[in-house]
Amino acid sequence: QVQLVESGGGLVQAGGSLRLSCAASGRTISGYAMAWFRQAPGKEREFVAAISLSGGSTLNADSVKGRFTISRDNAKNTVYLQMNSLKPEGTAVYYCAARVKRIATMVATYDYWGQGTQVTVSS
């Protein structure tokens, strides 16, 4: 079992930045692909970014390319999401997720989830 706890959310103005963290416990994340998803009110949960086991490969949703960066520190058992140039449509609960081995973008393929952290972007 892997337990995931997100932090770093908050209220930010459009154009601002936030850095989300996802701290894992229970097992080392070195055996898991990690990802960030988000869910806005009334909408389905959507893929944001994912990173491979070693951190050598990343994948971003088109909507965040060039603005968001996912990274990981396996020694600290932590994954990060640096979010720059935030837009009001980025307002959502952001979730960290883990799955064995490969990167994936589908919600249903992830085995472990955190409780989420709220990000609110004001215009």
H helical segments located in the chain? none
pLDDT tens digit sequence for 18-41: 999 999 999 999 999 999 999 999
How confident is the model at residue 101, as a pLDDT? 76
DSSP label of 89: G
pLDDT tens digit sequence for 37-53: 999 999 999 999 999 99
CA distances from 66 to 9, 32, 85 (A): 20, 24, 9
CA distances from 52 to 6, 75, 83, 102 (A): 19, 15, 19, 6
DSSP label of 108: G
How confident is the model at residue 60, as a pLDDT? 98
How confident is the model at residue 5, as a pLDDT? 98
List the chain residues with pLDDT less than 50. none
